Copies of this chain bind each other. A is one copy, B any other.
């Protein structure tokens, strides 16, 4: 029974809590789109891809149409009994609440959730004290600083910039202020009542991620991402090191590019939260060793040549102003320790966030990026290496490759010979991002269109799915010209597949060498944590299928998101976590892959699909 004018019902999507009114009778997928929930739906709501799975709690089940035949077939009785539904098939009858599991969320919304997770007990290295100073008089003309020390009751030092900026402000605020102390130093004098803010930054080779935290409550009040402006000078670490070495002022240009990008990111965070950047009193920055060095203005010359020696590997505090970040006048930036030339503070942060040192059973952590840092934890021992996986998963070196921006094909399914795809934000397809390429390669291999060497099974442009390209050689049509936002077909070439093979072989050879060093087999792994932006978006089953990840039951995998960013936030909030990071870095046994005797053989072997 359908009324001519459907009654409005309320739908609430968890975990992000988006809610609103929709007319009864529409599908859950349609409701999600109207309410701005990034729910996946590769086949466009045809009931064939099963990527729009949601979970409905018992009290809301009657508010939906009963499971359709398609759902019975695609989900099976166990899933249905747990309340799993296909959002495109379930019609809304009444107000209800729905849970969207991470794998059904689009990438951007996964990141949002990740940004809100619970961290550690706030125990920051800075502390705020609210003060009211006695104004000076002719009979008490002591200095501003002496007045402050008297009221604080401690012989503190005042940072030079605090001394420079605060006299006029103290008078403006009529001698009331919030003093921020770091040890025995006053690093900021803030207006009374200002919350104590900190910023945690993951300075990636390709991407920057920033988190603004309230240091007193531990809450993440804003998060933002941006591209690393250093990309203009080379897309991977080696290209940047070369640029820094060979161009006059190259290193300084790279340093300034990173600083400018981070300054903009910090402004974005502050705009989101309605905070002034001068109220940020502490920061933590993590990145790989080369990013760490370029950010600080340290020489990367010896990072580019064997034996790949960092300038500094211990944790470090520098003044924000000395590296060009616009924070509170005396704010410090804490840099977590580096482990080796190619295993940096971002890896330490990842270990910190995942508590790898406490793993009870053999656990593998892969932080997939332009460099993929891998750690194997076995009985309290930590083995780490860095695999040069390259920027293919960021879309580089792929003919139609692009980053996960709107219009990037992010999911691909081949169902009964037909290609389905989904793009970021549902925009018309204009290219393919890493997770889309991975999907495509895995599905083409599964469908028998690719052989194990990565060549076309039927190397013949007469094959219905392949076309000859202007660049020579047949290519697979992923998106036909008529559906493409480019006005021409989006295709995948043999060379594109080769790039993915190189990337996944580097990663696979990496974890295989670590297993060998620890004397373990693939099947001994109890848990595999897949981290990094790309690692968060990929279809794990596909990554296993092409041999990038160990061949294990899927329930042993966990997509843990930007753990480097999470670790940075933990170190921002807690001095105990900083100490823990130092201990962690010391415990890691670093394996240099390039000189490992079995690396080359394993790499060659891992090239097969």
Known A-B contacts A141-B341, A168-B301, A322-B160; A136 and B296 likewise in contact (beta carbons under 8 Å): no
Residue in contact with A299 in the complex, picked from B145, B168, B323, CB distance below 8 Å: B168
Q: Complex: how many Å from CA A340 to CA B142?
A: 7
Give Cα A308 to B140, complex, Å: 10
Q: Does A310 contact B (CB under 8 A)?
A: yes
Residue of B nearest to A289 (CB): B143
Q: What 1/0 mask marks residues of chain A from 565 to 597 whose CB sits below 8 Å from any chain B CB? A: 000000000000000000000000000100100
Q: Does the CB pair B141–A299 fall under 8 Å?
A: no
- Tell yes or no: A302 within 8 A of B by CB: yes
Quick check: A136 and B299 within 8 Å, CB to CB?
no
| Interface size classification for chain A | 35 or more
B307 and A141 within 8 A (CB):
yes
- Per-residue 0/1 for A295-314: is the Cβ within 8 Å of any B Cβ (1 yes, 0 no)? 01111011000111111111
CB distance B341 to A167 under 8 Å? no
Chain B residue at minimum C-beta to C-beta distance from A595? B138
Partner of A164, one of B296, B313, B338: B296
Is the CB–CB distance between A138 and B313 below 8 Å? no
CB A88 to nearest CB in B, in angstroms, measures: 54
The closest CB in chain B to the CB of A308 belongs to B141
In the bound assembly, the distance between CA atoms of A164 and B295 in angstroms comes to 11
The reply on A358 being an interface residue by CB < 8 A is no
- A163 at the binding interface (Cβ < 8 Å): yes
Which B residues touch A296, using CB under 8 A?
A: 160, 163-164
Q: Which residues of B contact A341 (CB under 8 A)?
A: 141
* Contact flag A142-B312 (CB < 8 Å), given A163-B298, A299-B168: no
Inter-chain contact B318/A144, CB cutoff 8 Å: no
**A446 CB → nearest B CB, Å:** 42
Other-chain residue from B163, B306, B313 in contact with A146 (beta carbon distance below 8 A):
B313
Asked whether A138 and B306 contact (CB < 8 A) given A143-B338, A312-B144, A312-B158, the answer is yes
| Set B142, B157, B171, B311: member contacting A313, Cβ < 8 A | B142
Contacts of A136 in B (CB 8 A): 302, 307, 309
A164 close to B297 (CB less than 8 A): yes
Q: Are A298 and B141 in contact (CB under 8 A)?
A: no
Given contacts A160-B318, A296-B160, A318-B160, contact A167 B307 (CB under 8 A): no
A168-B299, A340-B141 known; A163 vs B312 contact (CB < 8 Å)? yes
| B592, A145: Cβ atoms closer than 8 Å | no
For window 556-570 of A, CB contacts with B under 8 Å fall at none
Residue on B nearest A139 in the bound complex, by CB: B307
Bound-complex Cα distance A279 to B146 (A): 34
Asked if A5 is at the interface (CB within 8 A of a chain B CB), the reply is: no
A160 → chain B closest CB, angstroms: 5
A142→B309 contact, CB < 8 A:
yes
Q: Tell me the smallest distance from the CB of A299 to a CB of chain B, in Å.
A: 4
Complex Cα distance, B141 from A306, in Å, reads 9
Shortest A290–chain B CB gap in Å is: 13
CB-CB contacts below 8 Å: A122-166 with B? 136-146, 149, 157-158, 160, 163-164
Q: How far is the CA of A306 from the CA of B138 in the complex (A)?
A: 7
A449: min CB distance to chain B, Å: 43
- Asked if A143 and B312 make an inter-chain contact with CB atoms under 8 angstroms apart, the answer reads yes
Q: Mark A376-387, 1 if CB is under 8 A from B, else 0.
A: 000000000000
Q: In the complex, are the beta carbons of B311 and A143 less than 8 A apart?
A: yes
Interface centre among A297, A309, A318 (most CB of B within 10 A): A309
Interface centre among A136, A310, A311, A340 (most CB of B within 10 A): A311
| A433 shortest CB reach to chain B, Å | 35
A302 to chain B, nearest CB (A): 6
Nearest 3 CB-CB pairs, A to B? A143-B313, A141-B307, A143-B310
Task: Add 9 more A-B contacts to A138-B306, A145-B314 (CB < 8 A).
Answer: A137-B307, A141-B308, A144-B311, A145-B313, A157-B316, A160-B296, A160-B297, A160-B316, A164-B297
10 contacts between A and B (CB under 8 A): A141-B341, A143-B311, A143-B312, A144-B302, A146-B314, A160-B323, A163-B296, A163-B311, A164-B296, A168-B301
